[in-house]
Amino acid sequence: MALLGFQQALSELVISPEFCFQVLTSPEQALRVYNLTTLEYQRLVFLAQLPGLGIGRMLHRSFRLSMLVNILPKTCILLNFHNLNQVVEVYWQTQPSRNFYYEQEAVRFGQFLLAQLEQGKLQNEFLEEILRFELCVLFLTKLIPEQVASNNSLKIEVLKDSFPDLNPQYRIVFFRHEPNSLLTTLSKDQIPEPGLQGEYYLLLTMSSTNQLQSKLIGSRMGEVLLACNGQRSVLELCTQLSLTLEDLEILARRGFLHFHHRVS
């Protein structure tokens, strides 16, 4: 439909200064991917010339930033210490907005930050664990899929060639700093002081009243649950983590794991 193409092009015009410049300088090339009528084409070329479009873009960016701050507040507190605006500007330049679903935007921003940390372009003692925590909270509160059909009643011998995955009703986060103290400090809009590092595993889930629940669990259980990410088979996990089939069967019966087979 031509109207859909016009709406998509108009959104891109407001969101992307690069696209706006392309429409100004090479309108035929910039707009040829959209199904437009002649009148719609002319309107878009006209709109690209309006000074007021820059104000709309500024408002969009401001709203986009505010949504990131609302969805990932503790992450943004830590980033503000390292110039939040500068980090976000690099993100916007490399990852232009694709839609107005801000939960998806937060996930993309989180993936961008994790890549920056892995590449050494961003350094912060607390950022990775806080970011992973807030992405897990986002998953549980906004993005969690419907309840997975349970296969926990099946004997583990039948599932030994399957791939264990954490039940989506749970998330597990590894911390290098004591999580309760760290989260409390950030909740007060304060930057935590560098401190002794350790190994902590925080298990997250939602209560029956839709309240976030968190619980510190033992290092061994945390290590196993974190490793059950659907990428390794039962036999691989047992070999790498010195587990028995019964260990995974117990976790499955407690509702922490489900299993799937890969389609060859």
Question: Counting Cβ atoms within 10 Å, is residue 246 exposed (0-12), middle (13-18) or buried (19+)?
Answer: exposed
Q: Is the pLDDT of residue 148 over 60?
A: no
pLDDT in tens, 90-142: 888 887 666 667 888 899 999 999 999 999 999 899 999 999 999 999 999 98
pLDDT in tens, 223-247: 999 999 999 999 999 999 999 988 9
Q: Alpha-carbon distance 119 to 241, whole Å?
A: 28
Q: Per the structure block, which two tokens stand in for 196?
A: 């002794």
Look up the pTM and report it. Answer: 0.80
Kindly indicate the confidence band of residue 156, based on its pLDDT and cuts at 50, 70 and 90. low
Contact between residue 123 and residue 106 where contact means Cβ atoms under 8 Å apart: no
In angstroms and rounded to an integer, the radius of gyration of the C-alpha atoms of the chain is 23
Which range, of 44-48, 81-85, 172-176, averages the lowest pLDDT? Answer: 81-85
